[in-house]
Amino acid sequence: MTREMEIICVGNELLIGKTLNTNAQWIAKQATTLGITVKRITVVADDVNEIATAVRETLKRKPQFTITTGGLGPTFDDKTLEGIAKALNRKLEINTKALKMVREKFEAYAREKGTETVELTPPRIKMATLPEKAEPLSNPVGTAPGVRIDTEETMLIVLPGVPSEMEAIFHETATSLLEQASDKSVFYEKSIYADRVMESSLAPLIDKVMRDNPGVYVKSHPKGRENRPHIEIHVSITAREAEKSEEKLQKAIRQLSSEIGKIGGKVVVD
């Protein structure tokens, strides 16, 4: 059985189309590579109730992991931890370890600038105010720590929305948490491209190849226009044994290529 994950992205900027959700893609790719199945991505606004509702709904589905992005900063509309606290019925409290992380960051910035005092203003203390029983995750490139919260069935990993910070905390902490929990299965994929054949003519061949190659998933992605067809065919498998999986993938691709040739298509392999 592969492990499951959901991703919740918090941010009005995603809902007004200002920002492209590269975070969701990046995390989905990392998780997939580690053999974890991403089941759902949800994007909600900077609103405590919207966040709490989405988190509650996700936890009901009991994924092993849930990663959230966004809403951890110092401003009034950074509400992710408040939303999570509400969803979990936990109080928010100043987390000593998180406060130490935040203070050390501001001390380092002050030293760089040659200024002396570091004032822990309410917006700065806010970044260290976490739900009870939470573990702050060190942020190597910014001030707001990430947060890990264990619930009965799900490990919540709460990351900032700034991509460089999200990725840095992910690499430093989340990767190893996901690896530890993983059943060591790995994701293999390869794309081939078919010209001179329409997607609707490929459909029965894809059915056949998937029937003949259990475990292999084949999906067509039209890239040209339906009357000037150029179709990417993405072939993938998630499995434990490296060698056998590669073999299975290659076998499916050979069969697919031969079938496409039979109906007059031209296959291009990268």
Per CB under 8 A, which of residues 158..217 are in contact with its own copies? 162, 164, 187, 189, 198-204, 206-207, 210, 217
Asked if 65 interacts with its own copies (CB under 8 A), we say: no
| Footprint on residues 117-136 left by its own copies (CB under 8 A) | 121-124, 126-127
Minimum CB separation of residue 162 from its own copies in Å reads: 5
Q: Are 69 and 83 in contact (CB under 8 A)?
A: no
Please give the size of the binding site for its own copies, defined by CB under 8 A. Answer: 75
Minimum CB separation of residue 133 from its own copies in Å reads: 25
Rounded Cα distance, 150 and 130, in Å: 13
Q: Are 92 and 131 in contact (CB under 8 A)?
A: yes
Minimum CB separation of residue 213 from its own copies in Å reads: 14
Rounded Cα distance, 49 and 45, in Å: 9
Instruction: Give the amino acid at 63.
Output: P
Which position among 132, 222, 242, 266 is part of the footprint of its own copies (CB under 8 A)? 222
Stretch that binds its own copies, among 16-24, 81-89, 150-158, 242-250 (CB under 8 A): 16-24
Q: What is the CA radius of gyration of the chain?
A: 23
Stretch that binds its own copies, among 71-79, 83-91, 241-249, 258-266 (CB under 8 A): 71-79
Asked if 145 interacts with its own copies (CB under 8 A), we say: no
Of residues 255, 178, 174, the one with CA closest to residue 214: 255
| Footprint on residues 42-61 left by its own copies (CB under 8 A) | 42-46, 50, 54, 57
- Smaller CB separation from its own copies, 37 or 255: 37
Q: How far out from the chain centre does Cα 87 lie?
A: 21
Handedness of CA 175, 19, 6, 55 (dihedral sign): positive
- Smaller CB separation from its own copies, 45 or 267: 45
Of residues 112, 41, 40, 105, the one with CA closest to residue 70: 41
Which position among 2, 21, 64, 151 is part of the footprint of its own copies (CB under 8 A)? 21
Q: Are 43 and 51 in contact (CB under 8 A)?
A: no
Stretch that binds its own copies, among 89-97, 174-182, 220-228, 262-270 (CB under 8 A): 220-228
Helix axes 199-212, 242-262, angle to 10 degrees: 140
DSSP-based three-state secondary structure for 75: coil
Minimum CB separation of residue 90 from its own copies in Å reads: 24
